[in-house]
Amino acid sequence: MSDLYKMRETMNGIFDTLDDHAQQLAEQRKQIQEQNQRISALEKSNSTCVRNIKIINAIRKGEKTKEVAKDFNLSPARIAQIAPRKFN
């Protein structure tokens, strides 16, 4: 077997390895993007929950719906949905 043939086989092996690594890297990037999307969704959900808790606490303290709506840049109707006042 000639040296040139051995070099060619070695280079082909290297290229195959590089292709495998490129595919693995592409799969890892895809997984990272999916994880980032899940994290973003969880962060948004969490911030909305925190906001809603603050709204509920403000209403329970007796703050006016219009003022709470203004503070959170929401409509009074949305505040009433999040923290309805109980009437007996």
Q: Tell me the per-residue pLDDT of 18-32, one tens digit each, with 9 for 90 and over.
A: 999 999 999 999 999
Q: Tell me the per-residue pLDDT of 22-60, one tens digit each, with 9 for 90 and over.
A: 999 999 999 999 999 999 999 999 999 999 999 999 999
Averaged confidence pLDDT in the chain: 94
Contact 56, 83 (CB under 8 A): yes
Q: 46-84 burial, b for 16+ CB within 10 Å, e for fewer? A: eeeeeeeeebeebbeeeeebeebbeebebeeeebeebbe
Cα-flanking dihedrals φ and ψ of residue 84, to 5°? -65, 140
pLDDT at 87: 56
pLDDT at 88: 46
